[in-house]
Amino acid sequence: MLPNVVCENLVPGSSLSLESVPSQAIHHQGKRYTLNRVFTVHQRLEAYNLGCNLAEQGVPVLMTASRSRYAVWVEITSDYLPSATLNNAEVSVVEAA
């Protein structure tokens, strides 16, 4: 299964707190997603790889693209919280170096 990819400036954003840790969130097609990871435009393939791996695991995922970054977002559901990301890593933002 392939993740949906949308233009980042077309989805409204907000903030939320997961396990008392501030995080970014977006709303798309009636669903709410939390930020999992951020990649530079040069890391596009890594972003798609993560998105596809999560989707194959059954994790509802959305990807956004902008001129400066690619972002992988995971739907906030009772099945997802607190951590059901790749390799059971907690939700985190990874800024590319």
What pLDDT does 12 receive?
Answer: 74
94 within some domain: no
Residue 51 has which token pair?
């998105």
| Predicted confidence pLDDT, tens digits, the chain (97 residues) | 788 999 888 887 766 655 665 678 888 888 889 889 999 999 999 999 999 999 998 899 999 999 999 999 999 874 654 443 433 333 333 333 3
What pLDDT does 13 receive?
Answer: 73
* Count of domains observed in the chain: 1
97 within some domain: no
96 within some domain: no
Tell which residue, 2, 16, 62, has the closest CA to residue 37.
62
Expressed as residue numbers, the domain containing 69 is 4-88
93 within some domain: no
What pLDDT does 86 receive?
Answer: 35
Which ranges in 1-97 belong to alpha helices (H)?
A: 44-56
9 within some domain: yes
pTM of the entire predicted model: 0.73
84 within some domain: yes
d(CA 68, CA 15): 20
Question: 71: burial class by Cβ within 10 Å (0-12, 13-18, 19+)?
Answer: buried
